[in-house]
Amino acid sequence: MSDAHLAWLVGAVVIFVAAVALGRDDPNTTVHITEKGYISDRIELRVGEKVVFRNISQKGYTVTSKNSVDGSAQDKHQPPFDSGIIEPATSWEHKFLKEGTYAYYCKEDTSMTGTIVVTPVE
């Protein structure tokens, strides 16, 4: 098999695996990490729910809390979180126990950002 055919085959497999992963997860509780950013980059949860960050890219990324959306310091009542490196084809989850707006970014690519809005349980 030539290098070109092998490269095409590997690319097709990666796209297929990503499509299967995207089709299987609940979009309200899963954020996919890709080379182009977080998908979805804004989600809403209720207190006590968790979000799963699934890395469907080919390199490691992080999910790290940062200053709040309005630019003020992170609320001390909203505990910080940091996933560490999430390797390709793995995931990391975080359960949110307090309501609020959580802004996050990737330490490996600071242009990747997202927001999680946690609302009270009704």
**Does residue 57 have a cis peptide bond before it, meaning omega lies within 30 degrees of 0?**
no
Answer whether 48's CB lies under 8 Å from 99's CB: no
Higher pLDDT, 95 or 2: 95
The answer as to whether 17 is a domain residue is: no
Q: Is residue 37 part of a domain?
A: yes
Domain count, the chain: 1
| pLDDT at 2 exceeding the cut of 80 | no
Q: At 57, which amino acid appears?
A: S
Residue 43 lies in a domain: yes
- Per DSSP, the three-state class of 12 is helix
φ/ψ bin of 3: left (φ > 0), alpha (ψ from -120 to 50), beta (otherwise): alpha
Residue 85 has a pLDDT of 96
**Residue 67's CATH number:** 2.60.40.420
Percent of the chain at pLDDT exceeding 90:
57
Distance CA 111, CA 56 (A): 18
57 in any annotated domain: yes
In a domain, 1, yes or no: no
In a domain, 49, yes or no: yes
- Report if residue 10 sits inside a domain: no
Residue 32 counted as domain residue: yes
User: Is-above-0.85 flag for pTM?
Assistant: no
What is d(CA 105, CA 111) in angstroms, rounded to the nearest whole number?
7
Q: Domain range holding 106?
A: 27-119
Q: How many CB atoms lie within 10 A of CB 17?
A: 12
